[in-house]
């Protein structure tokens, strides 16, 4: 079974519940993905040894401002990393793993505002600004094989961003904790 794992790659897709680290994000922003704090993601993962994989994840989340209508933050991050299993594989048994990722994120803030030259609203305009950030992600999870080439993974993903501080006009640490469920299949 372990040699079969080294012969192909895996595609995966999942969703997670996102809880931001900072209280200001938790109080001032909410999600609009079905009314729950959900992020979507997917990617590809290739085995590099029987106990290690090299995944590349693309993660998406959207939050709307509670204090200004029509204002939203969309975050897309690309997360190359290394997944390492902490125990041997056994047939139809849970397998514990850890993961470390580099986070390369773009947060886009978009809003609409009223246009007025004399106090009378004459229309609306929109503004948008991109913020780029670097960070690190740490995961702890469990994998359950469904078949020889498919599995369900559950993870706790912790993301922290290190660049783009608020003091220099950035968004600061927009990271948080995600509880995720992933479907993975090999090809």
Q: Is 133 helix (H, G, I), strand (E, B) or coil?
A: strand
φ, ψ for residue 5 (rounded to 5)? Answer: -65, -30
Q: Is the pTM of this model over 0.85?
A: no
Q: Is 24 helix (H, G, I), strand (E, B) or coil?
A: helix
Low-confidence ranges of the chain (pLDDT < 50): 1-5
Q: Is 4 helix (H, G, I), strand (E, B) or coil?
A: helix
Give CA separation, 33 vs 27, 54, 71, 99, 151, in Å. 17, 29, 15, 26, 25
Q: CA-CA distance, 68 to 77, in Å (whole number)?
A: 25
pLDDT computed for residue 134 by the predictor: 96
Judge whether 100 and 81 are in contact, CB under 8 Å: yes
pLDDT computed for residue 114 by the predictor: 85
pLDDT computed for residue 2 by the predictor: 43
- Please state which architecture CATH assigns to domain 2-186: Beta Barrel (2.40)
pLDDT computed for residue 174 by the predictor: 82
CB within 8 Å of 157: residues ≥ 6 apart: 16, 137, 138, 139, 177, 178, 179, 180
pLDDT computed for residue 5 by the predictor: 45
Q: CA-CA distance, 30 to 40, in Å (whole number)?
A: 15
φ, ψ for residue 71 (rounded to 5)? Answer: -110, 130
């Amino acid at each position: 079974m372990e040699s079969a794992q080294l012969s192909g790659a895996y595609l995966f897709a999942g969703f997670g519940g996102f809880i931001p680290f900072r209280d200001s994000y938790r109080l001032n922003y909410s999600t609009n993905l079905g009314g729950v704090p959900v992020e979507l993601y997917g990617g590809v993962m290739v085995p590099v040894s029987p106990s290690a994989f090299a995944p590349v994840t693309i993660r998406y989340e959207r939050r709307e401002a509670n204090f200004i209508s029509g204002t939203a933050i969309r975050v897309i991050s690309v997360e190359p990393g290394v997944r390492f299993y902490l125990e041997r594989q056994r047939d139809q048994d849970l397998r514990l793993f850890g993961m470390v990722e580099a986070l390369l994120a773009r947060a886009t803030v978009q809003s609409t505002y009223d246009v007025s030259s004399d106090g009378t609203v004459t229309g609306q305009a929109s503004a948008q600004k991109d913020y780029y950030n670097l960070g690190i992600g740490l995961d702890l999870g469990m994998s359950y094989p469904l078949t020889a080439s498919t599995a369900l993974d559950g993870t706790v993903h912790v993301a922290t961003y290190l660049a783009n501080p608020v003091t220099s006009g950035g968004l600061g640490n927009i990271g948080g904790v995600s509880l995720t469920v992933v479907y993975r299949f090999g090809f």
